[in-house]
Amino acid sequence: MKMKREIAARCLAAPGLRSALSTALPRAGVLVLNYHRVGDGTRSRYDRALWSATAEGFDDQVGFLKANCDVVGLDEIGDALRQRRGRHVAITFDDGYLDNHEIAFPVLRRHGVPATFFIATGFIDRRLLPWWDAIAMQVRETTRERLDLREWMPAPLVLEHGDREAAIGRVLAAYKSLPIDQATRFRERLAEQTGIEAPEVVEGHWMDWDMIRGMAAAGMTIGGHTVSHPVLSSLPVDVQREEIAGCAARLREELGIAMSHFAYPVGSRGSANADTRRLLREAGVRYAYSFYGGIATAASTRLDLQRTAIANGIDRNLFRAMVQLPQVFCRPAGA
Ligand SMILES: [Zn+2]
């Protein structure tokens, strides 16, 4: 499927063809793109799958968006959704990584393009190493030849000759599909099997509040992404409330803003439930964003606006086809 999309995107790269098709096939709605990290992740100790683009690649993408689309900030999304046709695109970043400020922000400023940053406030406040980065580090750096996670993975994971990045992907996938009450046991078992304790706190990983204030002052939108990045639907209501109201409170205290925009951690179809949506409304959230692909349209509910991920190492032709013909190239997953 992925290959087919890339081949189709390459065929459309002939001069003028993609733009002509884009004009001939008008669309409604807003293509909300999602990024996590920008820069060179190839030697990172952490989860390398989180890098959405290199600095140069991101610069190229933003330049293309500026020249060929109407890039809107999320504070304009209500108006953009109501327009019957257009080529509206929004840029969003999740989590609050330091490279968002150091690398992405200067590129955005240079092009004069707005973006939104969804912040998990506990990461900024406490400099915590998130579980996905911890697991990637443990599996990458262990000297053990195999990992026995038999309760959760059918066979021992052989590391000695295999592709270490693929092994990291498999352990992360196993962790993501766990029932919440097994998460701690899984992490303990992984520490024992790898012989590596993940540190709780990490330096140089996250932005700080001064950086986020600076971006807000420069016209960037700041939204909420909970306190500690749990899958909200897996939690009891009172804990969900702490995650949502607690995030809103920190954004208000540090930035003096209301949490009008919110991105669901993980953002799959099942990551929020009716309680989540009620709590978001109570917290004053106007728009909430998912992460299973697709385009946000006037037909989307306000608390489930679809976003499309920009994947690590995405081909330039595919990126351009996605933003000019999203109705073809940005279908939601599992639809
Ligand atoms: Zn996130």
pLDDT tens column, 13-41: 877 888 877 777 777 899 999 999 999 99
Q: Give distance in angstroms: CA of 105 to centre of ligand 1.
A: 18
The H helix count followed by the E strand count for the chain is 15, 12
Q: Give distance in angstroms: CA of 229 to centre of ligand 1.
A: 6
| pLDDT recorded at residue 13 | 80
What is the pLDDT confidence band of residue 70, given thresholds at 50, 70 and 90? Answer: very high
Q: Give distance in angstroms: CA of 263 to centre of ligand 1.
A: 8
Q: Render pLDDT for 198-257 as a digit per residue (tens, 0 to 9).
A: 999 999 999 999 999 999 999 999 999 999 999 999 899 999 999 999 999 999 999 999
Strands (DSSP E) contained in the chain are: 30-35, 37-38, 51-53, 70-71, 88-95, 116-119, 146-147, 157-158, 221-224, 261-263, 287-289, 307-309
Q: Can you tell me the mean pLDDT for 65-71?
A: 95
Q: What's the fold here for domain 2-128+204-329?
A: TIM Barrel (3.20.20)
User: Percent helix, strand and coil across the chain, each rounded to 5?
Assistant: 45, 15, 40
Q: Give distance in angstroms: CA of 308 to centre of ligand 1.
A: 14
Q: Is the pLDDT of residue 79 over 70?
A: yes
Mean pLDDT score across all residues of the chain = 93
Q: Can you tell me the mean pLDDT for 47-75?
A: 96
| pLDDT recorded at residue 250 | 98
Note the pTM of the prediction, 2 decimals: 0.94
| pLDDT recorded at residue 66 | 97
Q: Give distance in angstroms: CA of 17 to centre of ligand 1.
A: 36
Neighbours of ion ligand 1 (CB under 5 A): 94-95
